[in-house]
Amino acid sequence: MNILLKHTKWLLISISLLAGTAHAVDVRFEPVAEGVYAFVGELGQRTASNEGLNANIGLVVTPAGAVLIDSGATFSSARQIHQAVQRVTSQPVRWVVNTGGQDHRWLGNGYFKAQGAEIIAHKQAEADMRSRGGDQLEGLRSALGSLANGTVPTFASRWITQSDERLELGGVVLEFKHRGGAHTPGDMLVWLPQQRVVFTGDVVYVDRLLGVLPFSQSKPWLATFAEIERLAPLRIVPGHGRVTDLSTAQADTRDYLVALRNHMKKAVDDGVDMSTAVKSFDAKPFMRLLNAADLMPGNASRTYLELERE
């Protein structure tokens, strides 16, 4: 009888362990250039199975330590990211860069701060993070349940204050470029001039439609995209979608924003009401992108309102 009880106990423990790991996201960094890696997240919504990591994460390995581009959505997913880093390099994560104010860009900060990393973000992200961090965390709790446990909004210890700022770690140069925001007010590019790779955060979406949110600004978004074009990168690691090139980024992000702004500007100038303007926008060239049908009406209406304010 004791043997049976013992086996039953271990069976229950095993089931419990499996249940706890069933939703663990599989984070794997793939090489982009020498010393540069990317994890490409799922294109769909935040779910328990992806632990909120429906976005891309970057890694730069230098002789003086590693730089992580975005920290994930939760304390738990940040741990998964860190384990993936350790499979690539034995270097400690010295810096964590938040490319913007969306949850999967920065809510994993607390984990990496506890590991001794310095957290870097643009100053224009601070107000957005402080005002929305609590709501973002509540949304993650609804989507992820207990997988969001332990997550505490944790802000940068170093704020980038200039539109262009250059830092160096272990001989590797990183340039931070902010042009007034994009998907969120603090969106900035991380440019590696030696490797000619740019991490765009939510400035660039490929394979899925971008989202114009109430705090998004399409005009500086396009100015930021113009900076990418000026840099002429060899590889682009977008915020969402596969690692790509400039022509694909132009087709999936720039061309959509230009078409949306041009249509809504004409509608506003001609006195066309918002409902008519939204319905008359030619969305067909972009319906190939994931989530297009769901996001298109909201994107169009918010761009109309933005053009009214301009």
pLDDT at 308 over 90: yes
The pLDDT, as a whole number, for residue 25 is: 80
Owning domain of residue 133? 21-246
> Is the residue at 256 inside a domain?
no
> Is the residue at 283 inside a domain?
no
Write out pLDDT tens, residues 141-185: 999 999 999 999 999 999 999 999 999 999 999 999 999 999 999
Please count the structural domains in the chain: 1
pLDDT at 84 over 70: yes
The pLDDT, as a whole number, for residue 16 is: 35
Count Cβ atoms within 10 A of the Cβ of residue 4 and give its class: 0-12 exposed, 13-18 middle, 19 or more buried. exposed
pLDDT at 58 over 60: yes
For the entire predicted model, the pTM comes to 0.91
Write out pLDDT tens, residues 4-49: 334 433 333 333 333 334 446 899 999 999 999 999 999 999 999 9
Write out pLDDT tens, residues 220-252: 999 999 999 999 999 999 999 999 999 999 999
The pLDDT, as a whole number, for residue 125 is: 98
The pLDDT, as a whole number, for residue 47 is: 93
> Is the residue at 1 inside a domain?
no
Give CA–CA dist 106/73, Å, rounded. Answer: 7
Higher pLDDT, 186 or 2: 186
Number of H helices, E strands in the chain: 10, 12
CATH number of the structural domain spanning residue 152: 3.60.15.10
Token digits for 263?
Answer: 């249509």
> Is the residue at 296 inside a domain?
no
39-47 contacts at long range (C-beta below 8 A, 24 or more positions apart): 39/81, 39/84, 40/241, 40/242, 40/243, 41/104, 41/240, 43/207, 43/208, 43/240, 43/241, 43/290, 43/291, 44/290, 45/143, 46/73, 46/103, 46/104, 46/139, 46/140, 46/143, 46/144, 47/143, 47/144
